[in-house]
């Protein structure tokens, strides 16, 4: 996940952290861990195939960190 802190930010724009649950047993959904290729491997970056679909389970605003947190799950429903 990636959140950028800037000094000049519009009041309508906030950093957003996406927490994605992805089942490796979904054989018809393609995604890959690209952390080893990243300049920031600690961010645990994952690349998803075009057309992947996600179900949003929860969206919260963390007032202490001033960031939106979105909990999602990868699904194969778009390809069914």
Is residue 43 within 8 A of residue 1, CB to CB? The reply is yes
Is residue 10 one of the residues assigned to a domain?
Answer: no
11 inside domain: no
Residues of the domain holding 21: 16-79
Q: Is residue 7 part of a domain?
A: no
- Predicted confidence band at 7 (pLDDT cuts at 50, 70, 90)? low
The structural domain count of the chain equals 1
Report if residue 51 sits inside a domain: yes
3-state SS record for the chain: CCCCCCCCCCCCCCCEEEEEECCCCCCCCCEEECHHHCCCHHHCCEEECCCCEEEEEEEEEECCCCEEEEEEEEECHHHC
pLDDT band at 62; cut points 50, 70, 90: very high
pLDDT confidence band for 78 (50 / 70 / 90): low
Residue 50 lies in a domain: yes
pLDDT number for residue 76:
85
Note the pLDDT tens digit of each residue in 38-59.
Answer: 999 898 899 999 989 999 999 9
């Amino acid at each position: 996940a990636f959140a950028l802190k800037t000094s000049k930010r519009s009041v309508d724009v906030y950093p957003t952290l996406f927490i994605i649950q992805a089942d490796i047993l979904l054989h018809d959904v393609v995604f890959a861990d690209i952390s080893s290729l990243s300049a920031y491997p600690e961010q645990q970056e994952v690349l998803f195939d075009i057309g992947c679909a996600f179900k949003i389970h929860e969206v919260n605003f963390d007032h202490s960190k001033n960031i939106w947190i979105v909990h999602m799950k990868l699904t194969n429903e778009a390809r069914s």
